[in-house]
């Protein structure tokens, strides 16, 4: 399982030793613990670990069971139909679109690029995570036969540590939804520091990795992409996204976006709604003022 490991430690200790600092705390070094290389595991092991950790995960990432009475009928039918794995082998929808990021680039360069640790890619991910939180369905996870809605899921991504040898490290950033830009950059630097110090690829406990939203930046001009599908025994119906290489032409900047969305909880119209929400956040975002100047 890419990016995760079988968690053979006490989950209570994990959450005790890795508390999620609030934005107003000055100590941002409290990151997720780093672990050794993964040991062999089976789908049933992972499913059991996720089930055992569920209460802690709901508390940490602000999750609650979905109230089916409040779900639109069309969406509810999909949540029931496409989790019937005896009929369906693969229920994800894969879509690639071109995003206009001209305004986002202008706002970033004018107001956000001077923060230590800042990058345009991180800025786009920061806004994307906030948009995901505004559209019902993107933060749904299917765990042990029930649907849960989380309102503060972590961001899972990768960084390149050795371009010549194609060496990557996995990093995870928590509390992105409620965190200001300055603090997000600080958390990114902390996660990167841990990743670079690790002898192996940075590995996180499977239950944490399983819930996180994967967003990857791929420096390629692709028109279509695809991603592996996990076994249905451990499928939790989460979306994933890939940002492609940015292109500039006639003062317009665009970027390909690959989205893999579970048809059980999402459909293409919701992806269009997500992109619209992302555009609105960019339009409404206020000029950044460093915390030291407030």
CATH number at residue 172: 3.30.559.10
Q: Is residue 7 part of a domain?
A: no
The terminus-to-terminus CA distance of the chain in angstroms comes to 44
Token digits of residue 267: 């459909």
Q: Is residue 46 part of a domain?
A: no
Question: CA–CA separation, 242 vs 253, rounded Å?
Answer: 17
What are the φ and ψ backbone dihedral angles of 275, each rounded to 5 degrees? -65, -40
- Tokens 């239950």, residue located: 207
- Tokens 């006639």, residue located: 250
Q: What is the pLDDT of residue 100?
A: 95
Q: Is residue 130 part of a domain?
A: yes
What are the φ and ψ backbone dihedral angles of 39, each rounded to 5 degrees? -95, 160
Q: Is residue 213 part of a domain?
A: yes
Identify whether the C-beta of residue 211 lies closer than 8 Å to the C-beta of residue 141.
Answer: yes
Q: Report the DSSP beta bridge partners of residue 99.
A: 255
Q: Is residue 276 part of a domain?
A: yes
Task: Tell me which residue range forms the domain holding 276.
Answer: 58-288
Across the beta sheet with 63-65, the strand order is 63-65, 146-150, 140-143
Q: Is residue 95 part of a domain?
A: yes
pLDDT along the chain (294 residues), means of 10: 43 48 44 44 77 92 92 86 80 92 94 95 97 95 93 92 74 93 95 79 76 90 68 77 94 95 92 95 71 43
**74 Cβ neighbours under 8 A, 6+ residues apart:** none
- Count how many Cα atoms sit within 13 Å of the Cα of residue 88 in the half-sphere of its side chain: 18
Overall number of domains in the chain: 1
Q: Is residue 214 part of a domain?
A: yes
Question: CA–CA separation, 153 vs 173, rounded Å?
Answer: 9
Write a three-state SS string for 226-282: CCCCCCHHHCCCCCEEEECCCEEECCEEEEEEEEEEECCCCCHHHHHHHHHHHHHHH
Question: CA–CA separation, 243 vs 218, rounded Å?
Answer: 6
3-state secondary structure of 36: coil
Token digits of residue 236: 């939790």
Token digits of residue 150: 């989380």
Question: CA–CA separation, 75 vs 264, rounded Å?
Answer: 8
Q: Is residue 111 part of a domain?
A: yes
Token digits of residue 110: 């004018």
Question: CA–CA separation, 271 vs 166, rounded Å?
Answer: 31
């Amino acid at each position: 399982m890419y990016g995760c490991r079988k968690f053979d430690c006490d989950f209570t200790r994990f959450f005790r030793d890795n508390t999620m600092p609030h934005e107003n705390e000055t100590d941002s070094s409290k990151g997720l613990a780093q672990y050794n290389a993964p040991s062999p595991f089976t789908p049933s092991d992972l499913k059991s670990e996720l089930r055992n950790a569920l209460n802690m995960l709901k508390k940490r990432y602000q999750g609650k069971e979905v109230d089916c009475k409040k779900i639109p009928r069309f969406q509810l039918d999909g949540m029931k139909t496409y989790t019937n794995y005896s009929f369906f082998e693969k229920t994800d929808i894969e879509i690639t679109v071109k995003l206009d990021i001209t305004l986002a680039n202008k706002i970033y360069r004018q107001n956000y690029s001077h923060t230590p640790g800042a990058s345009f890619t991180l800025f786009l991910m920061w806004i994307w995570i906030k948009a995901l939180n505004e559209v019902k369905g993107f933060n749904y996870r299917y765990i042990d036969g029930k649907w849960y809605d989380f309102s503060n899921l972590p961001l899972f991504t990768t960084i390149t540590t050795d371009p010549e040898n194609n060496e990557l490290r996995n990093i995870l950033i928590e509390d992105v939804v409620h965190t200001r830009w300055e603090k997000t950059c600080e958390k990114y630097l902390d996660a990167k520091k841990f990743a670079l110090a690790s002898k192996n690829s940075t590995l996180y406990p499977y239950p944490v990795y399983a819930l996180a939203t994967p967003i990857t930046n791929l420096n390629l001009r692709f028109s279509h992409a695809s991603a592996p599908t996990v076994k249905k025994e451990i499928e939790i119906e989460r979306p994933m996204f890939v940002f492609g290489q940015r292109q500039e032409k006639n003062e317009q900047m665009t970027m390909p976006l690959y989205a893999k969305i579970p048809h059980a909880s999402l459909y293409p119209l919701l992806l269009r709604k997500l992109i619209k929400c992302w555009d609105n956040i960019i339009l409404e975002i206020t000029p950044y003022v460093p915390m030291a100047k407030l």
